[in-house]
């Protein structure tokens, strides 16, 4: 079982338009309601691949209730912690002409210290039952700065590995706890570590240096069409699926997190786990729904993924 943790949940309203045209009317005939929040997205992917998963999350209001109901339709279990406010609604604007998406977000959770403790208590009850933990997304307002580090320490206390996938502040706060996998996208890496790479070669050099500096067990960076990079103390790896005709790219990174935790839980080595991560992530862009995949797409893409080891000086 893979336990996911989502502190910042959302219900996605995916709106398909031809092109964003400011000041002019825009019409759509396609609007989908999807699961949002990075950890829950990973749970959806895992469930669609037939992997047992449970999503621990903060939720609030009617939007939160609708979100939990939607998660259950995928067969994923949830462990909701009810708080004040309203779960966010993320309006995902997909421009089909440009194969790009943007987010407009409304709503906010109101989380009190008592809610932190409820979530931590639920985490401690459930983490011994898990093979891996995925903790993903940003820290809501009023949460302790070191909460990702706290979750990492609690998981490690019962010998359960954990993947942290967050943005700048969440990444920095998790560094001292040395999560088993610290994952982010290319822009998040640049912001968190104060770097700027003009090429994949420069990114590789910077990432190898960051992993050594903070003694991280594993650092994973998703690079969109350029694939996925993984850095451990033993090796550096690049995996890339063939370019796909993207329908909705939202949730592709969360699909990669799901695949990494799943395949590592099976005891696969890093090259094979990264192959699956690239394939599952690529499959996720082929569907209209956020973080939705089709198993046949994953299995079609998997043999086409190129995986190679990287030297310390070049990609």
Partnered with residue 220 across adjacent β-strands are: 183, 230
SS3 of 156-191: HHCCCCEEEECCHHHHHHHHHHCCCEEEEEHHHHHH
Predicted local distance difference test score (pLDDT) of residue 84: 95
Which positions of the chain have pLDDT values less than 50? 313-315
Instruction: Map out the domains of the chain with their CATH numbers.
Output: 2-106+129-310 (3.40.1190.20)
Contact 38, 165 (CB under 8 A): yes
CA separation (Å) from 64 to 85, 89, 198, 222, 285? 10, 9, 41, 29, 25
Phi, psi angle pair for 80, to nearest 5°: -80, 140
Predicted local distance difference test score (pLDDT) of residue 312: 62
CA–CA separation, 292 and 115 (whole Å): 30
87: nearest Cα among 40, 32, 42: 40
The residue length of the chain stands at 315
Please, what is the angle between helix 270-284 and helix 252-265, to 10°? 150
* pTM, to two decimals: 0.93
Predicted local distance difference test score (pLDDT) of residue 246: 84
Mean pLDDT of the chain, nearest integer: 93
CA–CA separation, 139 and 234 (whole Å): 31
Question: Hey, is 233 helix, strand or coil?
Answer: coil
246: nearest Cα among 129, 136, 98: 98
Render the burial of 96-125: b for 16+ CB within 10 Å, e for the rest: eeeeebeeeeebebebeeebbebbbebbee
Question: What dihedral do alpha carbons 306, 307, 311, 315 form, nearest 10°?
Answer: 40
Predicted local distance difference test score (pLDDT) of residue 140: 87
Digit-coded pLDDT (tens) for 14-30: 898 999 999 999 888 78
């Amino acid at each position: 079982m893979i336990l996911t943790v989502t502190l910042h949940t959302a219900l996605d309203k995916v709106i398909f338009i031809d092109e964003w045209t400011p000041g002019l009317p825009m019409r759509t005939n396609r609007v989908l309601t999807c699961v949002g929040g990075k950890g829950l997205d990973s749970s959806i992917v895992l469930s669609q691949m037939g992997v047992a998963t449970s999503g621990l999350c903060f939720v609030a209001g009617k939007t939160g209730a609708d979100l939990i109901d939607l998660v259950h339709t995928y067969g994923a279990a949830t462990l909701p912690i009810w708080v004040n406010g309203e779960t966010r609604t993320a309006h995902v604007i997909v421009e089909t002409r440009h194969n790009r998406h943007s987010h407009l977000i409304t709503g906010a959770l109101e989380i009190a210290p008592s809610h932190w403790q409820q979530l931590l208590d639920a985490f401690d009850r459930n983490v011994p039952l898990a093979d891996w933990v995925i903790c993903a997304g940003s820290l809501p307002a009023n949460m302790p700065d070191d909460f990702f580090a706290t979750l990492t320490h609690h998981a490690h206390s019962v010998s359960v590995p954990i993947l942290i996938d967050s943005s700048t502040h969440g990444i920095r706060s998790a560094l001292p706890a040395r999560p088993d996998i610290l994952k982010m996208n290319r822009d998040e890496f640049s912001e968190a570590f104060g770097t700027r790479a003009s090429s994949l070669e420069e990114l590789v050099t910077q990432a190898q240096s960051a992993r050594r500096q903070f003694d991280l067990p594993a650092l994973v960076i998703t690079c969109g069409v350029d694939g996925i990079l993984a850095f451990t103390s033993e090796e550096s790896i690049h995996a890339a699926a063939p370019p796909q005709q993207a329908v909705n790219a939202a949730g592709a990174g969360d699909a990669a997190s799901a695949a990494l935790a799943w395949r590592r839980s099976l005891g696969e080595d890093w090259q094979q786990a990264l192959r699956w991560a690239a394939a599952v992530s690529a499959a996720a862009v082929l569907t209209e729904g956020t973080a939705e995949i089709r198993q046949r797409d994953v299995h079609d893409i998997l043999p086409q993924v190129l995986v190679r080891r990287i030297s310390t000086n070049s990609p």
